[in-house]
Chains A and B, each alone.
Chain A
Amino acid sequence: MRCKVVSEPQTRENVMYLNIKGMRLLMTTLLVLCSSGLLAQSLVYEREFTLIAEDDNTLRMELTAAGILTVHRPAFMTEPGRHELSVSQAIYLQLADQLAARAEDSRHLSSDIQQRATAEMRYISDPEISRFYRLDEQDRKTDSVSAVSLEAWAGTYPDDGQLARLSELEQQWYQLMQGAMEEDQ
């Protein structure tokens, strides 16, 4: 189990710096994460740039519950390759909460956009696909949300709350990525 990360013994030196209250909080958090399988989970954001005909056309970010962010920037992007960053677990929990909420309120997003675009005769070329999901401890996708040309449609329909909220989630992933790239520099 990936939970072994939690059970790794702390060094005496490290432990000495933790007060009793802090230790209790830490242990409680880790126990909750471990018992719920959260540490084995991760959140994933992908963006497929379908206009690029090369095989490597997808930006991918994965944030583990332990707070490790890995980013793959495809070769057509600036600073291509793998980037990594450690972040606080609070960020994981915050993004996980938002993903769960977006999975709930974005269920009709695509059909809603489709209907509105048809009625208003709007066209956006060269669709891109944004995907947000959680991988559970058995690498199964849950809380999955997909959107086509999210940035473009959010710009076209700024009054659409569903689009705005999902777009905001996408922007948060980009901010995290920015941190990882700065870390690498």
Chain B
Amino acid sequence: MNRLTSILAGSLLALTSGSICAGAFIFADGDTANRIAHPSSYFGSGGEITVTVCIAPGSESIDDMQVSVQNTVEVWNSREPVSPNLFLGGSNNIPSGQIDFESTLLHEVGHCLGLAHPNLATESGLPAADRDYTQAGQGANTSFDIDPGSDGIKGSADDLRGDDVNLHWFNVGINNPFILTTPIDSSSYSRNTADLPGDDTFPANADRTVGNALGFSNSEAVMQQGAFFDEDQRQLGVDDVATLGLGMSGIDQTADTADDYIPVLEYGGVASGCDITIEVSGTSFAFCSVGGSFIAPDHLRVINAEVQLGSASEIAWFFNQTPLNPDEVFEDRFEL
């Protein structure tokens, strides 16, 4: 049996923070698996919540990134799942050998809204080849149990995961992260593996290889970790929308109740003091740094969210200059 139990994970995991190791929502881990993180403006009351998004006044590349920041705001506001949402090579406007700034920013802003990687990703400490397995905690044996099952695809529904604690919210009885199930709340999305369809052994995640196997080519969750050259992923996948939507069902995790909220991201131009601040500087590739504050048991809101993307003198960024909504961009540029 091709069972791989990683004992190496512990050594690198020790280098990461326990609370850094997140699930489908940041701040969730194997011991706090039910935690759901919400955008910064949510305190438990329903309705529209405004999340201001600004470019830090001290940032580099301010003019270059304006369009991408506004496109990112618009895409998260639309919450419209798109499949396929991966456009590679000649089907995008990115020169070969460059990394798309906008796709990276969309991913980081997702973290700043409370979303984590659906896959185990680098915070697991596992080697690159094993990071596509579905997000989980290590369980009682304190190591990840990873076996791709008979299909050989990591992150698919037949994975054998031993005592790993699932952190990925999946649609009940379906377990397909490329299909949106309504209502988006805990009646139709679950973290409990007992709610999987009969033959499934673990929740599938919205990795591109899993998508191909399920008939959704060139489709992947934006929150799936991993950036490639010449890759345009500027639109959300179903899993991104579902996870954000689950949070939007509020503290009671039930849709159409008084505590439901609608996050409205609002571009605030070049300014400080916003809910999410974006800065291009430094030598890191990209990260989102946030704090968390409890608003109810197992429910936190994000505070002090900052996205940092590496200086253009270090990273070969491609800055998209094609606005999704030309009128709005022109207006904002005019105001600037």
Contact = CB atoms under 8 A, between A and B. Distances in A.
A127 B16 contact: yes
A125 interface: yes
Contacts of A147: 15
B288 interface: yes
B321 interface: no
A156 interface: yes
Interface residues on B, range: 35 or more
Contacts, number: 136
A126 B289 contact: no
Interface stretch (A2-10, A20-28, A108-116): A108-116
A128 B283 CA distance: 11
Given A51-B285, A53-B227, A149-B287, A126 B122 contact: yes
A105 interface: no
B289 A123 contact: yes
Interface stretch (A73-81, A84-92, A94-102): A73-81
Given A51-B122, A121-B300, A78 B17 contact: no
A123 B122 contact: no
A155 B27 CA distance: 20
B230 to A, nearest CB: 10
Contacts of A155: 282, 289, 308
A152 B27 CA distance: 17
Contacts of A127: 16, 20, 122-123
Interface stretch (B160-168, B311-319, B325-333): B311-319
B285 A111 contact: no
A133 interface: no
Contacts of B316: 75-78, 80
A123 B290 CA distance: 5
B139 interface: no
Interface string A24-60: 0000000000000000000000010111111000000
Greatest chain B CB density within 10 A among A49, A51, A110 is at A51
Given A76-B99, A76-B316, A78-B315, A118 B17 contact: yes
B336 interface: no
A75 B300 CA distance: 39
B15 A110 contact: yes
Contact of A128 (B22, B284, B289): B284
A76 B315 CA distance: 6
B275 to A, nearest CB: 15
A155 B308 CA distance: 11
Nearest to A149: B287
Contacts of A110: 14-16
Contact of A51 (B22, B226, B291, B312): B226
Contacts of A78: 312-316
A77 B291 contact: no
B5 interface: no
Given A121-B19, A122-B19, A126-B225, A149 B284 contact: yes
A80 B99 CA distance: 13
B143 to A, nearest CB: 17
Given A51-B227, A78-B314, A110-B14, A124 B283 contact: no
A120 interface: yes
Given A52-B227, A118-B17, A152-B308, A126 B287 contact: yes
B322 interface: no
B284 A114 contact: no
B26 interface: yes
A146 interface: yes
B289 A152 contact: yes
A30 B99 CA distance: 46
Contacts of B122: 50-51, 126-127
A129 interface: yes
A54 B16 CA distance: 22
A122 B228 contact: no
A112 to B, nearest CB: 10
Which 4 residue pairs are nearest across A and B when measured between Cβ atoms?
A53-B226, A121-B292, A50-B122, A117-B17
Interface of A: 47, 49-54, 75-78, 80, 110-111, 113-114, 117-118, 120-129, 146-149, 151-152, 155-156, 174
Given A152-B284, A155-B282, 4 more contacts: A113-B17, A123-B17, A123-B19, A123-B22
24 contacts: A52-B228, A54-B228, A76-B229, A77-B314, A114-B20, A117-B19, A121-B291, A121-B292, A123-B17, A123-B19, A123-B22, A123-B111, A123-B290, A123-B291, A124-B20, A124-B289, A125-B108, A125-B287, A125-B289, A126-B287, A127-B20, A148-B15, A155-B282, A155-B308
